[in-house]
Amino acid sequence: MENPISSAVEDYLKAIFELGEKDIKTQDLADSLKFSPASVTGMLKKLSKLNLVSYKKYYGVSLTKQGRLMALETIRHHRLIETYLMQALGYEWHEVHDEADRLEHVISENFEERIAKLLGNPSYDPHGDPIPCKDGIMPQLLGQPLIDFAVGTNIKLTRITKQDSEVLIYLAENELKPGGVFTIEARAPFNGPLTLNKGKKPIPLSYQLAKAIYAQAAI
């Protein structure tokens, strides 16, 4: 008999969680996974029969308790693997996502525990995303978008939510990684670009990218 908990099932549950867990529209899920709405609807009906989601046509889909725990387990695998690839194997941070996408479905729980122990049981991955605990508890999301801070504020970066390779390469070239401290030097009106500064080096960011970078006020 075919195992119903396939990598495709895990991908769906992870995508639903990352879109907000509850009342996710079929079209939004289809756009995220790059599948047709009809294909997504068919899978959601299967997941509903497995009691992994609550699905109601025209109203959207929500994770059940069981589905949420499974999504968090997959996310835990993914973010631990990303951290391991960078810290132990020397990967760059723009290289780890695709590798982790492939490996997250195949590692054993024993292997997961060994990675976590080796890394010192981290709470956040290299991009600042929280790593779910073994019991399904999610560490606190840190910071708020850069666009929320006033000009002249000293900030400490906490999280990068836009993780396209070209974006991460640009950010790395400018040392824009979680833990980095910068000053918000300028901000153009009408959703214009925002400029950070570190050591008299201006770093321009589009409004959309600044929305995807989170920070806390630096002490």
What's the confidence (pLDDT) of residue 1? 35
pLDDT tens-place string over residues 39-94 = 999 999 999 999 999 998 888 999 999 999 999 999 999 999 999 999 999 999 99
Domains of the chain: 7-63 (1.10.10.10), 74-140 (1.10.10.10), 144-217 (2.30.30.90)
- Taking 70 as the threshold, does the pLDDT of residue 3 lie above it? no
pLDDT tens-place string over residues 118-173 = 999 999 999 999 999 999 899 999 999 999 999 999 999 999 999 999 999 999 99
- Taking 80 as the threshold, does the pLDDT of residue 29 lie above it? yes
User: How confident is residue 2, by pLDDT bands cut at 50, 70 and 90?
Assistant: very low
- 35-59 in b/e burial notation, b at 16+ Cβ within 10 A? beeeebbebbeebbeeebbbbeeee
- Taking 90 as the threshold, does the pLDDT of residue 214 lie above it? yes
Residue type, 192: G
Residue 189's CB is within 10 A of a number of other CB atoms, namely: 5
What's the confidence (pLDDT) of residue 219? 76
- What is the rounded distance in angstroms from the CA atom of residue 156 to the CA atom of residue 180? 6
Contact status, residue 202 vs residue 195, Cβ threshold 8 Å = yes
Residues in the chain: 219
What's the confidence (pLDDT) of residue 5? 72
pLDDT tens-place string over residues 86-117 = 999 999 999 999 999 999 999 999 999 999 99
- What is the rounded distance in angstroms from the CA atom of residue 163 to the CA atom of residue 30? 19
What's the confidence (pLDDT) of residue 54? 97
Of the candidates 57, 82, 96, 76, the one whose C-alpha atom is nearest the C-alpha of residue 14 is 76
Of the candidates 72, 64, 55, the one whose C-alpha atom is nearest the C-alpha of residue 10 is 72
- For the chain, strand residue ranges (E) read 53-56, 60-63, 144-145, 154-160, 181-187, 194-197, 202-205, 213-217
User: How confident is residue 4, by pLDDT bands cut at 50, 70 and 90?
Assistant: low
Look-up of token digits 């497995």 = 50
What's the confidence (pLDDT) of residue 146? 97
User: How confident is residue 201, by pLDDT bands cut at 50, 70 and 90?
Assistant: confident
